[in-house]
Amino acid sequence: MRRFLLPFLVFFAFISESTFAHLVQFPFATEDHLFVPRFVLIVVIFITVYLNRTQGMLFGFFFGLLHDIVYIEVVGIYLFPYAMIAYLISKAMKVIHGHVLIVLLLIVLAISVLEFYVYGVNLATGVTSMKAYDFTMYRLLPTLALNTLVALLFVFPFRGFLTKLKQAELED
């Protein structure tokens, strides 16, 4: 039962991304502002930091592929960066301390890298013609604010859950 809980949790984060994007409207935001939920990436980073690199990369790979299949016509736009970000986060955690504030900073950095990567791919393929300033003001900053708030809300519950899961795996 325990081994199905983590995939279900990541799948729930995947489903809640699109649900959140369609149902939640912020009264203070104009229609130009775009709040992109990156809940799966946040959960993948938590898994990478508090569980292990292999599972983080596998979940990043699988749910990046699922994101590409469901939302994008081109496979690989999210598949590659989700797995690569999990790998880079695991390497960074070997060098720096795993304090909660460091993890939150890494989440903000990872989401920034992902957003700039997707923006660059979309700009290179002609999907968007948005200027860098407009991208930063109307997409990147609102996205970072939303996801930082979500990460702040869930860092302690996920840390506790994943450390208990890691201890249970070590005992088995």
CA nearest to 83, candidates 108, 105, 100, 66:
66
pLDDT at 129 over 80: yes
Task: For 155-170, write each residue's pLDDT tens digit.
Answer: 999 999 999 988 988 8
Tell me, what's the pLDDT at 1? 55
CA 71 → CA 4, 77, 78, 147, distances in Å?
25, 11, 10, 19
Residue 38, burial from CB neighbour count under 10 angstroms (0-12, 13-18, 19+): buried
Contact 44, 60 (CB under 8 A): yes
pTM greater than 0.85 (yes/no):
yes
Contact 84, 93 (CB under 8 A): no
Tokens of 14: 């995947």
Residue 21 pLDDT class (50, 70, 90 cuts): confident
70-79, 127-136, 156-165, range with the lowest pLDDT: 70-79
